């Protein structure tokens, strides 16, 4: 039997065992490795059902069985004023689930903002109503389902759905001067939101931002769109420069009265969030000083605008802003996250008593706050377990008991039903695409080993990946010169031979609070797998300043952005150079945005170690970048000239010895093309050879059409020829 088996094995064609080669077309044109997701998932208010958008319309499905219960909206029923069918691919539900907003011809503005032709569709009446004849921003149905608020031409409007009457709340909106209900550029980019208004729960009030941009300096870039190119000019406050003046206004929808909220006499501040406190006519206003190291939560009265601080936090460096806050239905208690005791943790607060209590007291970071179920007294969250994994759990604030929702390694992202009785778990690892399951919360709380009903297992993608026989990443700790462990992953060629020497390419982002060394699908992109098939080792090291390792590690880079980060990259490269299978003369570095900043430092400050670098959309001097992000970590150039000068890549252009490719989009509204232009100008002055690539009319993402394929083809060719 054994002899027969060997003979039959030898008769199998050799190509069956060959590793299938990844192509750039596979990655960037064909979508060969695209993972399946659950599209259009939306829990209904009762928590027992969810809705899903399909070709035929919007269907209602049971969490318990997964069966379709009803077709709520038929796609053929939703038509515009001319009777033409409107796609349901872009919608938003009203709180009472009786109406939806349908968006058509959506047009992006900046990273998070967009405008669209918008309709209100009444489900019972099967009637579509055009909200406005023009494209509008941030259309939002009031909680009572009777009105729609939206922004147009920098002004805020509200429309009564039944009467079809529109009221213009503000009239002073003007491009590059006054904005109502929408964020200015820097708030949108750095505080992570664009819709700058909030309905109160009873629909009686709308709280909104008013930005006065008149003293903010403008930035202009060219759009190559016609015989005589047009100039795009917008307000962009660079480090040390003036910001918009902010007002918070509360509009009474019943009386039409507008009330100014008292946010204090100091004007050079930020208001990074406003949120209504549950079941009250009180607005929570986040007050943050310009240095971003003093956060106050104000409780403002909707009728009078008077306010008082109920929570304050100070830090000797900076405080990060997020949406991790929950106001309990009693109108008094609140939950938030803070790293004020060294690690990001949950805190239960009391507005009246003005005090908070730390809940978990662990030396792991809270990575996600999913929400609070007041019926069961459970808080749902995830921890950054072993830094790179995500471990979801529940904390009961009555019994003080913590319960894991799983004990499986890897990354898990949860999405709960409205009443928290079910959740969808998207589970993946660095070498296994997502498995998406539907889980009953109570069952999992009793047994974390339970696996719910599989919605998507990406089995087809897994089979496809087996054909390519991809390498498995190894997670390791690499010590820097100070003896501090740095998280890393390494991806070797599948046919790795320890007796050979391989070139190494570092991929790096490295910015404050970021993480690339994560055990999740997509943390290692397919281009890196492609490079291993070309005979390269790809390495990623999360340097000092990155996230999920506690406040001390993250904030060590304060006032010296780039110093410790690039020292860690250099130390890691020096260590790898000592390994017998690494070619010390062929170590390169690539990165995008902050990563491009790091690559520019690698080829200059690290010129003796890094022989090749690719910098995409790099910051080359923090003076060129916006003030909210830059000053959070560096303060102003006026206060910290040394910190800015000693870590600017363009000040080290003369140290470049190796091969350097610098790439930028000419219409980058975020990291301006100016950064690369000035770096190139400095290299020309120092007679430093370089290669460059610019992408006309492309923003910071440099994508769309054939662009991604082109840019990665360009980078691939450069790496293959120069590393």
Residue ranges per domain, the chain? Answer: 46-94+96-142+144-163, 174-321, 472-722
Q: Which residue has the tokens 């002073």?
A: 172
DSSP 8-state class, residue 28 = I
Strand ranges in 567-697 using DSSP code E only, listed in sequence order: 582-592, 612-616, 659-665, 691-695
Residues 116, 619: Cα–Cα separation, whole Å: 32
Classify domain 472-722 at the CATH topology level: Rossmann fold (3.40.50)
Look at residue 64 in the predicted model and tell me its pLDDT. Answer: 87
- Determine how β-strand 659-665 pairs with β-strand 218-223: unpaired
Please report the sign of the dihedral spanned by the C-alpha atoms of residue 422, residue 424, residue 428, residue 433.
Answer: positive
Give the integer Cα–Cα distance in Å for 525 and 719.
16
What are residue 248's DSSP bridge partners? 209
The pair of three-digit structure tokens given for residue 232, joined into one six-digit string: 């795009």
Determine what percent of the chain falls in helix, strand and coil, rounding each to the nearest 5: 20, 35, 45
Exposed/middle/buried for 398, CB within 10 Å: 0-12, 13-18, 19+?
Answer: exposed
Q: How far apart are CA 370 and CA 27, in angstroms?
A: 32
Distance CA 196, CA 390 (A): 31
Euclidean distance between CA atoms 199 and 73, whole angstroms: 26
The SS3 call for residue 131 is coil
Buried b (16+ CB within 10 A) or exposed e, 583-617: bbebbbbbbbbbbbbbbbbbbbbbbebbbbbbbbb
Please choose, from the candidates 12, 122, 145, 131, the residue with its C-alpha nearest in 3D space to the C-alpha of residue 73.
Answer: 122
Instruction: Tell me the C-alpha distance between 572 and 546, whole Å.
Output: 15
> In whole angstroms, what is the distance from residue 45 CA to residue 556 CA?
45
Q: What are the angstrom distances between the C-alpha of 53 and each of 41, 75, 118, 135, 315?
A: 8, 9, 18, 24, 46
Taking a C-beta distance cutoff of 8 angstroms, is the pair 694, 673 a contact? yes
Task: For 635-707, list the strands marked E by DSSP.
Answer: 659-665, 691-695
| Token duo for residue 51 | 């809705």
601: helix, strand or coil: helix
Residue 264 gets the label, from left (phi > 0), alpha (psi -120 to 50) or beta, of left
Q: What are phi and psi of 688, to 5 degrees?
A: -95, 130
**β-strands 378-383, 366-373 pairing:** antiparallel
Q: What is the predicted pLDDT for the residue at 41?
A: 67
Predicted pLDDT of residue 4: 30
| Angle (deg, nearest 10), helices 594-602 and 563-577 | 60
How many angstroms separate the CA atoms of 280 and 255, rounded?
18
Distance separating alpha carbons of residues 349 and 285, to the nearest angstrom: 16
Strands (E), 280-400: 282-289, 294-301, 307-314, 325-327, 333-338, 345-350, 355-358, 366-373, 378-383, 391-396
Are the C-beta atoms of residues 103 and 136 closer than 8 Å to each other?
no
Q: What is the pLDDT of residue 678?
A: 98
Q: What angle do CA 507, 719, 471 make, to 5 degrees?
A: 55
- Three-state DSSP class for 455? strand
Residue 16 DSSP SS3: helix
Q: How far apart are CA 423 and CA 56, in angstroms?
A: 25
d(CA 475, CA 177) in angstroms, rounded, equals: 50
Residue 144, pLDDT score: 96
Q: How far is CA 22 from CA 429, 492, 495, 500, 688, in A?
A: 20, 15, 15, 23, 35
Q: Edge to edge, what strands does the sheet with 432-440 contain?
A: 411-416, 422-429, 432-440, 453-456
pLDDT the model gives residue 426: 94
Mean pLDDT of successive 10-residue stretches along the chain, which has 723 residues: 30 50 97 87 89 91 90 94 92 95 96 96 95 98 98 98 97 98 98 98 97 98 97 98 98 98 97 97 98 98 98 98 97 98 98 98 96 98 96 97 88 94 95 95 90 92 95 97 98 97 98 98 97 98 98 98 98 98 98 98 98 98 98 98 97 98 98 98 98 98 97 98 98
The pairing of beta strand 147-152 with beta strand 411-416: unpaired
In angstroms, the Cα distances linking 646 to 447, 618, 620, 637, 651 are 54, 17, 12, 12, 8
At the top level of CATH, which class does the domain 174-321 belong to?
mainly beta
Spatial distance between the Cα atoms of 119 and 136, rounded to a whole number of angstroms = 11
Task: Report the pLDDT value the prediction gives residue 5, as an integer from 0 to 100.
Answer: 28
- Are residues 185 and 175 in contact, defined by beta-carbon separation less than 8 angstroms? no
pTM here is: 0.95
Distance of CA 556 to the CA centre of its chain: 23
Collapse the DSSP code of 305 into the 3-class scheme (helix H, G, I; strand E, B; otherwise coil) and give the result: coil
Q: Maximum distance among all alpha carbons in the chain?
A: 92
Which residues, in sequence order, are bridge partners of residue 616?
592, 663
């Amino acid at each position: 039997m054994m002899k027969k088996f060997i003979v039959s094995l030898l008769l199998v064609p050799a190509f069956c065992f060959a590793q299938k080669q990844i192509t750039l077309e596979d990655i960037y044109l064909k979508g060969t490795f695209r993972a399946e997701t659950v599209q259009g998932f939306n829990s209904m208010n009762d928590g027992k059902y969810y809705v899903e958008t399909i070709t035929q319309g919007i269907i209602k499905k049971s969490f318990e069985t997964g069966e379709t219960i009803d077709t709520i909206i038929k796609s053929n029923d939703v038509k515009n004023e001319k009777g033409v069918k409107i796609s349901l691919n872009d919608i938003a539900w009203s709180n009472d689930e009786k109406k939806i907003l349908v968006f058509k011809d959506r047009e992006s503005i900046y990273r998070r903002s967009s405008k669209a032709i918008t309709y209100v569709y009444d489900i019972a009446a099967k009637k579509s109503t055009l909200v406005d004849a023009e494209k509008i921003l941030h259309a939002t149905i009031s909680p009572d389902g009777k009105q729609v608020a939206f922004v147009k031409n920098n002004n805020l409007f509200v429309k009564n759905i039944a009467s079809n009457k529109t009221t213009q709340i503000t009239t002073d909106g003007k491009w590059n001067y006054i904005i109502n209900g929408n964020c200015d550029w820097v708030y949108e980019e750095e505080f992570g939101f664009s819709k700058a208004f909030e309905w109160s729960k009873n629909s009686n009030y709308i709280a909104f931002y008013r930005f006065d941009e008149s003293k903010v300096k403008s930035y202009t870039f060219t759009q190559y769109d016609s015989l005589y190119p047009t100039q795009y000019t917008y307000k962009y406050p660079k480090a040390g420069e003036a910001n918009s003046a902010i007002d918070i206004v509360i509009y009474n929808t019943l009386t039409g009265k507008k009330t100014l909220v008292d946010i204090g006499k100091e004007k050079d501040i930020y208001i990074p969030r406003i949120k209504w406190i549950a079941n009250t006519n009180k607005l929570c206003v986040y007050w943050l000083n310009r240095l971003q190291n003093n956060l106050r939560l104000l409780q403002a009265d909707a009728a009078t605008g008077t306010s008082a601080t109920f929570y304050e936090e100070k830090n000797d460096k900076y405080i990060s802003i997020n949406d991790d806050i929950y106001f309990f239905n009693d109108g008094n208690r609140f939950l938030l996250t803070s790293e004020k005791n060294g690690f990001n943790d949950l805190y239960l607060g009391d507005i009246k008593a003005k005090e908070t209590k730390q809940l978990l007291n662990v030396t792991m970071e809270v990575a996600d706050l999913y929400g609070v179920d007041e019926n069961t007294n459970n808080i749902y969250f995830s921890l950054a377990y072993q830094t790179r994994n995500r471990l979801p759990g529940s904390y009961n604030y009555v019994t003080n008991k913590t319960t894991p929702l799983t004990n499986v390694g890897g990354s898990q992202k949860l999405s709960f039903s409205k009443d928290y009785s079910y959740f969808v778990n998207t589970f993946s690892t660095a070498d296994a695409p997502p498995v998406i399951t539907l889980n009953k919360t109570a069952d999992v709380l009793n047994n974390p080993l339970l696996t719910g009903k599989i919605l998507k297992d990406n089995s087809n993608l897994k089979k496809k990946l087996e054909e390519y026989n991809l390498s498995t990443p190894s997670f390791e700790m690499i010590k820097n010169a100070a003896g501090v462990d740095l998280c890393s992953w390494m991806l070797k060629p599948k046919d790795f031979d320890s007796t050979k020497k391989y070139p190494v390419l570092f991929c790096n982002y490295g910015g404050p609070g970021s993480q690339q060394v994560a055990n999740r699908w997509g943390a290692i992109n397919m281009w890196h797998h492609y490079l291993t098939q070309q005979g390269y080792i790809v390495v990623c090291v999360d340097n000092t300043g990155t996230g999920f390792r506690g406040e001390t590690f993250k904030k060590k880079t304060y006032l010296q952005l780039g110093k410790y980060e690039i020292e860690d990259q250099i130390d890691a490269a020096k260590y790898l150079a000592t390994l017998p299978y690494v070619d010390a003369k062929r170590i390169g570095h690539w990165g995008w945005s902050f990563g491009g900043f790091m690559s520019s430092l690698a080829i200059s400050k690290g010129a003796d170690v890094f022989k090749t670098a690719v910098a995409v959309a790099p910051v080359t001097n923090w003076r060129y970048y916006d003030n909210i992000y830059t000053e959070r970590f560096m303060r102003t150039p006026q206060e910290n000239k040394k910190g800015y000068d000693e870590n600017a890549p363009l000040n080290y252009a003369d140290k470049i010895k190796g091969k350097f490719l610098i790439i930028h989009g000419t219409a980058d509204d975020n990291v301006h093309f100016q950064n690369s232009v000035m770096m190139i100008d400095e290299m020309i002055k120092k007679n430093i050879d370089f290669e460059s690539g610019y992408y006309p009319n492309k923003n910071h993402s440099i994508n769309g059409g054939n662009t991604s394929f082109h840019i990665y083809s360009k980078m691939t060719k450069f790496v293959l020829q120069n590393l």
